Chain A
Amino acid sequence: MAQVFIPSQLTAYTDGATRVEAMGATVGEVLDDLDRRFPGLKFRVIDEQDRVRKHMRLFIGQDETRSVGAPLSESGELLIFGALSGG
């Protein structure tokens, strides 16, 4: 079970939760599981071509990834952040 950090921009989908658990061995699988439970969340992070949106950042533990195919590490931690995106 992956531990996922949810940024403030997405807590409207998770009833305010900033830490949730999700199933999946890759970034994409975890986001798919999140989207089943919190409909609409994935598309606001990942576009229709499976690219991470420009102003979103994903980290597997300490390591940034921009691939939905990236496997989660043993820690099973996925961190989602809103990057700087202007005023």
Chain B
Amino acid sequence: MTAIQLLVGTRKGAWIFRSDAARQAWAVQGPIHLGQIVSHLVLDPRDGKTLLMAAATGHLGPTIFRSTDGGETWAEAGRPPAFPKSSDPRARAVDHTFWLQPGHADEPGVWWAGTSPPGLFESRDGGVTWESVAGFNDNAKYHDWCPPEAGTPDGALLNQIVVDPRDLAHMYIATSTAGVFESHDRGASWAPLNRNVEASFLPDPYPEYGQDAHFIALAPTNPDRLWQQNHCGVYRLDRPDERWERIGKAIPPEVGDIGFTITPHPRNADTAWVFPMDGTDVWPRVSPGGRPAVYRTRDAGKSWERQDSGFPAEQGWFTVKRQAFCADQGEPVGLYLGTTGGEIWASCAEGEGWRQIAAHLPEIYSVTAAPV
């Protein structure tokens, strides 16, 4: 086993937790940029040293901070993500960068960013300067896909970017206003990919676009398999098929398959975890019944098993946001989730034996795991 680091973005700054080789003892570094709203903090797996942080504050506009020394020192991007200048009085301005995605392994230095309002941006110099991706941001259908009045409480999002490891031109994005899109030409053009995905909040509950795709992820060892935690349920898509299958119905109905995030197993394409939340009534968005649990499938969604050992047995009202649930590459796999109550919970046994490894942090927005 090797040591790992957890990169934690919160509403009030960032922290880095580094483990020992057994993933039992944790050393903490931080706060980093205390007071900045950190939506995402990501290590570049291609060089193992470049950290990018998506930051803003209540007052100040958004920016990207960059570190190449393990987070000891930071430099600000020379040109953060920004929409093209326009004379339209309703012209878009980036409110915050939500998601940072290292590019394909064959394109070192390339990063992608998703923003609110929904926007796709690319950097070719390791995150120093960013350009608007016209294929999405200036698409003739943009205002249909991303109507200005739509969005989450924190604004409408382009909330995930996925690059096919076999083909750098093949990409997927997830949005909160129009669901999932696919590109075969490295972002130059996009098509909706939402067949059979529910949008229960629209007059047509199965539209071409309009869904709220909370999170998408490829199965690392089978990039033809896409997992999706949608606003309305858990789905799986096996390409080249274009019809998503609702797999969350196999979760007990008293728990339901509403949630923000889904985490695939790094080596087993049939295994993934979700963290269900209460999506009934007025949508409390907390652990159903106050009893936190992850649910694991090991058969591609045909069945699910509850894993709650170590979590509070009652009165545990966790909310885990889109970017705040992740897996490491360990054997067995370690899982980590951060709560809006400022707690980090870890399992070193593929979802069993959860324990709290940090508390009293600000509201956690993101947790990503990386080798030390």
**Which of A's residues lie within 8 Å of B, judged by CB?**
7, 9-10, 39-40, 43-51, 53, 55-56, 82-83, 85-86
Contacts and interface: CB of A to CB of B under 8 A. Distances in A.
A82 B55 CA distance: 17
A43 B93 contact: no
A82 B56 CA distance: 13
Interface in B53-78: 57-61, 63, 76-78
Contact of A86 (B58, B61, B91, B94): B58
Given A47-B93, A48-B93, A48-B94, A53 B60 contact: yes
Contact of B60 (A39, A44, A48): A44
A56 B59 contact: yes
Of A45, A48, A83, most buried by chain B (CB within 10 Å of CB) is A48
B288 interface: no
Nearest to A53: B61
B interface: dominant SS? loop
B59 A55 contact: yes
B187 to A, nearest CB: 20
Interface stretch (B79-87, B146-154, B205-213, B234-242): B79-87
A9 B57 contact: yes
B119 to A, nearest CB: 11
Contacts of A50: 85
A45 B93 contact: no
Of B58, B63, B82, most buried by chain A (CB within 10 Å of CB) is B58
Contacts of B92: 49
14 contacts: A39-B76, A40-B77, A44-B61, A45-B61, A47-B82, A47-B94, A48-B83, A49-B91, A53-B59, A53-B61, A56-B59, A82-B59, A82-B60, A85-B57
Nearest to B76: A40
A33 to B, nearest CB: 17
A51 B85 CA distance: 11
Interface in B74-125: 76-78, 80, 82-86, 91-94
Contacts of A43: 61, 63, 80, 82
Contacts, number: 53
A84 B61 CA distance: 15
A75 B78 CA distance: 32
A55 B58 contact: yes
A49 B90 CA distance: 9
Interface of B: 57-61, 63, 76-78, 80, 82-86, 91-94
A51 B59 CA distance: 14
Of B60, B82, B85, B92, most buried by chain A (CB within 10 Å of CB) is B60
Given A39-B76, A40-B76, A51-B93, A45 B85 contact: no
Given A53-B59, A56-B60, A82-B60, 14 more contacts: A9-B57, A9-B59, A10-B60, A39-B78, A40-B76, A44-B63, A46-B61, A47-B61, A47-B94, A48-B83, A49-B85, A82-B59, A85-B59, A86-B58
A40 B86 contact: no
Nearest to A13: B76
A53 B59 CA distance: 8
A83 B77 CA distance: 25
Contacts of A10: 60
B115 to A, nearest CB: 11
Contacts of B60: 9-10, 44-45, 53, 56, 82
A5 B130 CA distance: 30
Nearest to A47: B93
Given A48-B85, A51-B93, A40 B59 contact: no
Which 6 pairs of residues, A with B, have the shortest CB-CB distance?
Answer: A85-B58, A47-B93, A48-B82, A44-B60, A82-B59, A40-B76
Nearest to B12: A87
B56 to A, nearest CB: 9
Given A48-B94, A49-B91, A83 B59 contact: yes
A85 B60 CA distance: 10
A78 B84 CA distance: 27
